[in-house]
């Protein structure tokens, strides 16, 4: 008899995600972005936020929550992969992990902030909701099977095109947004 992983609710009442607070492949992988992976794992076990530094395992862009949601919907419509990203409703922000050396491709895109190498992203343990932040991990809702889909990051070029498409759609509709 196997026991299921503990479940945690996602913000907005979405489907629960597995609790990755216990040491797992995803926590090990994410902790590599911390200055001290072992300290990050210990802090996550306490249910606290840990600074993960850009440029160590991934690049990072910060996008307005609504813009990111619309862009990710665009990517999904065209069967493009959406990789791990961190969301915060109170901050109205989404931080999207990109392959190292690719974030510059989104520099200058309206509503997108490219974070330089070394910038600390305060992150909860994967699978937990802490400090109004939670990870959205590919494969956590059963959409991808096998392997480690959370290691596959969002491609910068399709994300840039999706953001431009969202801006164009809003412009044609006469909508005004702060981003």
Plot region of 24 (φ>0 → left; ψ -120 to 50 → alpha; else → beta)? beta
- 103 by Cβ neighbours in 10 Å (0-12 / 13-18 / 19+) ranks as buried
Mean pLDDT of 98-122: 97
Instruction: Give domain status of residue 179, yes or no.
Output: no
User: Do 95 and 121 meet the contact criterion of CB atoms below 8 Å apart?
Assistant: yes
Instruction: Give domain status of residue 90, yes or no.
Output: yes
Tell me what the pLDDT averaged over the chain comes to: 85
Instruction: Give domain status of residue 20, yes or no.
Output: no
> Residues, the chain, total?
179
**Beta strand pairing call for 93-98 and 112-115:** unpaired
Q: Say how far apart CA 145 and CA 36 lie, in whole Å.
A: 31
- Rounded to two decimals, the pTM is 0.82
Instruction: Give domain status of residue 17, yes or no.
Output: no
Confidence (pLDDT) at 146:
56
Instruction: Give domain status of residue 33, yes or no.
Output: no
First to last CA, the chain: 51
Owning domain of residue 84: 51-118+130-140+147-173
Using CA atoms, how far residue 81 sits from 43, 75, 171, in Å, is 30, 7, 26
Mean pLDDT of 59-64: 97
Here the tokens at position 53 are 């530094």
pLDDT band at residue 128 using 50, 70 and 90 as cut-offs: very high
* Percent of the chain topping pLDDT 70: 80
Q: Which of 62-71, 133-142, 159-168 has the lowest mean pLDDT?
A: 133-142
User: What would the pLDDT profile of 23-35 be if each residue is shown by its tens digit?
Assistant: 688 999 999 999 9
Overall number of domains in the chain: 1
Confidence (pLDDT) at 170:
81
User: Do 97 and 54 meet the contact criterion of CB atoms below 8 Å apart?
Assistant: no
Instruction: Give domain status of residue 2, yes or no.
Output: no
* Percent of the chain topping pLDDT 90: 70
Instruction: Give domain status of residue 64, yes or no.
Output: yes
């Amino acid at each position: 008899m196997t026991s299921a992983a503990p479940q945690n609710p996602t913000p907005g009442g979405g489907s629960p995600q597995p609790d990755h607070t216990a040491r797992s492949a995803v926590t090990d992988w994410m902790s590599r972005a911390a200055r001290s992976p072992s300290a990050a794992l210990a802090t996550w076990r306490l249910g606290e936020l840990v600074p993960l530094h850009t440029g160590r395992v991934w690049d990072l862009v910060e996008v307005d929550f609504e813009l990111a949601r619309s862009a990710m919907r665009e990517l999904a419509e065209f069967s493009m992969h959406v990789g791990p990203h961190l969301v915060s409703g109170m901050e109205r922000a989404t931080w999207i992990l990109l392959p190292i050396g690719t974030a510059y491709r989104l520099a200058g895109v309206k509503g997108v902030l490219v974070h330089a190498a070394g910038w600390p992203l305060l992150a909860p343990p994967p699978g937990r909701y802490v400090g109004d932040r939670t990870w959205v991990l590919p494969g956590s809702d059963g959409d991808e099977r096998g392997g480690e889909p959370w290691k596959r990051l969002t491609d910068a070029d399709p994300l840039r095109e999706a953001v431009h498409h969202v801006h164009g759609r809003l412009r044609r509709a006469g909508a005004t947004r702060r981003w």
